[in-house]
Structure 1
């Protein structure tokens, strides 16, 4: 048993250090992705043809290419044109842009799901376009987009593990270093999986709480 102690001591020290980095990656990426997704999703529904095409192109680009390729371009490709990003900055920017593209699709779908009759009814009551969106459309759209956006945040927690490919040493990167040193990959990645399961469980609990706070009797579920 004494022979295992240095291994586990080093493992948990490294994983706890990586966990802090993972959280530092996930939180700003989730907030930034939601912000960009809401803005782009709204533009894709309410803007003119040029902005709509730009929004559609952005969503198609980042949804249609692998995240790891996007990270490589940000970290290894941009220096070729004189732009240098730190590993952390490259990872966060990549996660925000990729997550925002997916979030925009959920927001767009939620906005389009609001029936046109509600817009016409609001206009008949004297609401302006902005008042209609703010007071009638958005409260409903937020509830309808919550499940998709929440699911994307869960995915973000898991694909934050790709940050190590651009040398940002988060949970997976720290664990891989220890596994390579001791050649004990099964134990290390089992523990890493438990860490991610804990993060996802916490996120799901938070999303459930938000769902309860936003719940209106008779709206959205039986």
Structure 2
């Protein structure tokens, strides 16, 4: 086995810079996806049927097509139609945020439906406005129930972030490819960034467990 990890040592700082580059768009995508997903989930509980249909179509499209296809459409196809180029960072945030929001909306919807209906009936009987009831009573309880599923979605998003290398965004994966092309060796840089991805996922998993434990204690 002709392995020589010493050759990637000079490139380690370059590859490590990819951690923050990757986390930048992942964090923003998670926030964007969570906010949009929450809004979509709440629309499912309105009495206006066209909004239900819109959410169903939206989630069906983004859950039923590959994420890499959505990224390619935003980065390559939309500029063809509009004549305006979309930067790789913005393309990544839009693709991952829109995709994640479809999954998050279904997770939150299931969490809301899992809350005891007596909570809603009691709030309505006391004259609590619908918006306040959702914000202060229903959503906090739903979030406690769906936290593991949300963390799993965020972890999946972090792992799938590697596909942004296909649009030349200098994330961890792209930097490994650059190093591999420079030294004509791909195994070592890929294994190195693979280890970094693993550490990131383990840290997220640990954070999720700590938050879940804290919320259980607060009960």
When the two structures are superposed, what TM-score results if normalisation uses the length of structure 1? 0.89
Paired position in structure 2 for 1:212:
213
Distance 1:24 1:7 in 2: 28
Contact 2:68/2:163 (CA < 8 Å) preserved in 1?
yes
Contact kept in structure 2, 1:111 and 1:137, CA below 8 Å:
yes
Could you report, residue by residue, the CA deviation over 1:149-170 in whole angstroms, capped at 9, with x for unpaired residues?
1111000110110111111110
TM-superposed CA distance for 1:47, in Å, is 4.9
Corresponding residue for residue 174 of structure 1: 175
Between the aligned partners of 2:9 and 2:112, the Cα distance in structure 1 is 50
Counterpart of 1:129 in structure 2 is 130
Deviations 1:101-129 (A, max 9, x none): 11111011101112323222222233232
Mapped to 2, the partners of 1:12 and 1:135 lie a distance apart of: 47
Q: How does 1:1-222 map to 2 (within 5 A)?
A: 7-82=7-82, 83-216=84-217
- Find the aligned partners of 2:103 and 2:131 in 1 and give their Cα distance: 25
Stretches of structure 1 lacking an aligned partner (at least 5 in a row): none
Aligned partners of 1:46, 1:215: CA distance in 2, in Å? 30
Alpha-carbon distance between aligned partners in 2 of 1:14 and 1:30, rounded to the nearest angstrom: 25
Shift of 1:216: 4.9
Deviation, 1:203, is 1.2
8 A Cα contact 1:172 1:192, kept in partner: yes
1:71 is displaced (CA, Å) by 0.7
Q: Distance in 2 between matches of 1:134 and 1:5?
A: 52
1-structure distance, mates of 2:104, 2:131 = 22
Shift of 1:24: 1.2
Contact 1:179 1:185 in 2 (8 A): yes
Please give the alpha-carbon distance, in whole angstroms, between the structure 1 residues aligned to 2:5 and 2:105: 48
How many correspondences in the alignment? 216
> Segments of 4+ in structure 1 off by > 3 A?
none
| Change over 3 Å in CA distance of 1:198–1:5 after alignment to 2 | closer
Aligned 8 A contact 1:39 1:104 in 2? yes
Unaligned regions of 5+ residues in structure 2, if any? none
